Structure 1
Amino acid sequence: MSSLLPDTAPDFSQPIAVLKHCHGRIRKQLATLEKLLAHLPEHGADEQARQAASAVLRYFDKAAHLHHDDEEQDLIPMLRAVAQGDDAATLQALAPTILQDHKDMDAMWQDLHEQLTAIAEGAGTALNPATVARFVASYTAHMEREESTMAPMAVRLFSAEQMARLGQSMQLRRGLVDASAPVSPKLGQAVADLRKDYGQATLDEADVLADPIEQFTAWFEQALKAEVNEPNAMTLATVAANGRPSSRIVLVKQFDPRGFTWYTNYDSKKAQDLSDNSYAALLFFWSELERQVRIEGRVERTAPEESDRYFRSRPLKSRLSAIASAQSAPIASRAQLEANYEAVAQAAGEDPARPDNWGGFRLVPERIEFWQGRRSRFHDRIVYQRQEDGSWTRQRLQP
């Protein structure tokens, strides 16, 4: 029903060929799955069926996930870094579909995994024909999409150094090379040579809105429509009393004419920094749209009732985590952290109150800059400055 002999794979010096070879192995496992479906009604979970189920399990439990990670963590980001013009447009349209395919196929695999495990153990003979058909059809269409677009695009666009970097990442993921080994000079140079020539859109003074919050809202809505990965993620930069800056990613939970709001522990490092220095900066970077927004201003705490409303809107487990964690403070182990959570969960009930040391911060903007990537690093930059009377001025900055 299936061959137990390993296929001869291309070398990782040819990473795109390795990815295509993985597709060949996936097709063989899908064929085995279909044969198993036809075999079971007549023969049950005999030795041949158990071996076939085990082979499919081995592949999709591990190798398929490594293949997905190759694409999600390396191939697609590398293509985004070099694709231009029609290639960039094709990739922007295709990448969300590829990523969603992975999620959908993983969900289908969970159902098949239980059935195949029972067959491999000789404890069951049930294999859902509809799930098998959907799984096979989804994987087949998915591979055809990749082979007709992403693979030839990579072969066309990647330099020898980029191919080497992709191959090395794939080997690291499989434990085939030492992760602590120094990067070769050629690979190090490849990092320096990485660049993307932007060209999706323009930003002109005549096109932007008079109010920067309205302009941000328009861009944020476009980021949502473009299915940007976590469009609400922003870098928050603060400065401690000793003058040392630090930054981290937080999620904006509200923005309006008052400013940009996020929530956190008031005993955390960022909260201590803001206690020492109430000025901070935010950065939104939406690579899929070749845009970033820089925001600077003074930070204030939200009103307690506003923090209460948001806290009550959070999922129960998120509220319990906020209570259980003394954010940024050292702890002996993960086990101790889990124990703290369990103790809080038992004591807090179904509607825990917001702790006094948790709440919102709002950055009241004084300067907002909109950046649109353009070709040859000749980017568009429009900056808004708040005036003493609360109005805004805007002007173009040189790239």
Structure 2
Amino acid sequence: MSHTLFDTAPDFSQPIAVLKHCHDRIRKQLETLRKLLAHLPRHGADAEAQQAARAVLKYFNNAAHLHHQDEEHNLLPMLQATARGADAALLAELTPAILAGHEQMDRDWSIIKSQLEQIANGSGTALSADDVARFCEAYADHMVVEEGQIAPMAKRLFSPDQMAQLGSAMQLRRGILPALPTSQVPEQHAAPVNHTVADGVVLADLRLDYGRASLTEDDVLDDPIAQFGKWFEEALHAKVNEPNAMSVATVDADGKPSSRIVLIKQYDHRGFTWYTNYESQKGRQLRANPHAALLFFWSELERQVRIEGKVVQTTAEESDTYFYSRPVKSQIAAIASRQSAPIANREQMEANYDAVAAVSGEHPLRPAHWGGYRLDPERIEFWQGRRSRFHDRIVYVKQADGSWVKERLQP
């Protein structure tokens, strides 16, 4: 019932083949598990049983988790960023079940693991046939979906650059020198900085090459707001971390710029809307100079959107609608805080909050100094990262009649 665990694997230049090879090794370990189940009643935890238990433990404690991470952190996100139309719909249908399957198999493994550990050290012979059957069936069904649907889609959609990036990420996860320079693999960003090197040199070496997607003039829609909506939906679908976070850059009366991150609350053909304190630094700067720039950066998709235009306040009715949709505690915080103004300490902030809460009750009134801003876009640029800093940039510029003209910019 024994077999070698070190059969020859495909090269990481063929990452989908490597994933299939992982499935083949899983099947071998599942077969070992079934044979062990039959072996124990006749022979107990003898040397052969202990060896088999250790082999299964070794694989599912280590390699199987790496395989799941390959899919969760690289393969599926890359497909989500690339798939369109029927492919995207199928992926949206399959992905939740695949991720749920990983979680279920991890739970099932934790049960079998404790049984195998006792067999491996000769202290026990119990191995539940029901637990083994459930574990094996779950993996078998899971692999059928991935080999029948996910792998063919990846082979069909991924460019050579994407295949290289996927393979390099998988190598790095296993402690193998990637086929790409390590600076071109996103996972390398988690590596600690070598502080023995001069800071300037280290920073200069922090260069990530991109290659998950491309952007051509034919890819983008004629309407930049619709195109933004398309990318925003893809960011949501790809579970980008806070896709609604955007940088707002403003300039004061002396021409000095400043920027900060806020959360977009609405976008439509009128523009891009967020809410804040009108007496804050950005509020004062927008009174002096109503022109501003927004920036969305979705690193998981290697995309950014730059938006420039003139800012106006939303109507009182719009500000009311959003203010009263917020949790009461957030409403009280908006009233209590003189945003951007100095204060002695946190304790004073808390005291101000408590004072407002004491008089506001459950229905605070929106203060006149708090409301919305809407940037009416005049220029919108869509940026898609590409290899060797040869990025794709498509910009839309609004014309006097309200129409948009788009063109490609050099990186």
Q: Distance in 2 between matches of 1:283 and 1:90?
A: 22
1:316 correspondence with 2:328: yes
Query: What whole-Å deviation, never above 9, does each CA across 1:88-133 have from its counterpart, x for those lacking one?
Result: 7799999xx79x99xxx9xxxxxxxxxxxxxxxxxxxxxxxxxxxx
| TM-score relative to the length of structure 2 | 0.57
Query: What whole-Å deviation, never above 9, does each CA across 1:1-52 have from its counterpart, x for those lacking one?
Result: xxxxxxxxxxxxxxxxxxxxxxxxxxxxxxxxxxxxxxxxxxxxxxxxxxxx
Name the SS for the 1:274 alignment partner.
helix
Deviation at 1:204, TM superposition (A): 1.0
Name the SS for the 2:357 alignment partner.
helix
- Aligned pair partner of 2:230 in 212, 218, 225: 218
CA, structure 1 residues 91+185, in 2 after alignment: closer, same or farther (shift >3 Å)?
Answer: farther
- Aligned pair partner of 2:386 in 362, 365, 374: 374
1:396 correspondence with 2:408: yes
1:234 correspondence with 2:281: no
Show the counterpart of 1:385: 397
The equivalences for 1:1-399 within 5 A come to 152-153=172-173, 155-157=175-177, 183-185=195-197, 188-399=200-411
Deviation at 1:346, TM superposition (A): 1.1
Q: Distance in 1 between matches of 2:402 and 2:351?
A: 50
Count of equivalent residues: 262
Larger radius of gyration: 2
Q: Distance in 2 between matches of 1:156 and 1:302?
A: 54
Letter in 2 for 1:283: L
Q: Distance in 1 between matches of 2:304 and 2:191?
A: 31
Q: Distance in 2 between matches of 1:263 and 1:389?
A: 29
CA, structure 1 residues 88+193, in 2 after alignment: closer, same or farther (shift >3 Å)?
Answer: farther
Q: Is residue 316–residue 371 contact of structure 2 (8 Å, CA) maintained in 1?
A: yes
For the aligned residue pairs, the C-alpha RMSD in angstroms reads 3.8
Deviation at 1:168, TM superposition (A): 5.7
Q: Percent identity?
A: 59
Letter in 1 for 2:375: L
Q: Distance in 1 between matches of 2:301 and 2:190?
A: 24
Letter in 2 for 1:288: E
CA, structure 1 residues 270+192, in 2 after alignment: closer, same or farther (shift >3 Å)?
Answer: same
Q: Distance in 2 between matches of 1:85 and 1:317?
A: 41
Letter in 2 for 1:199: G
CA, structure 1 residues 395+198, in 2 after alignment: closer, same or farther (shift >3 Å)?
Answer: same
Query: What whole-Å deviation, never above 9, does each CA across 1:164-214 have from its counterpart, x for those lacking one?
Result: 996767xxxxxxxxxxxx943256523311222111111111121111000
Name the SS for the 1:292 alignment partner.
strand
Query: What whole-Å deviation, never above 9, does each CA across 1:233-266 have from its counterpart, x for those lacking one?
Result: 0000000011110000010000000000000001
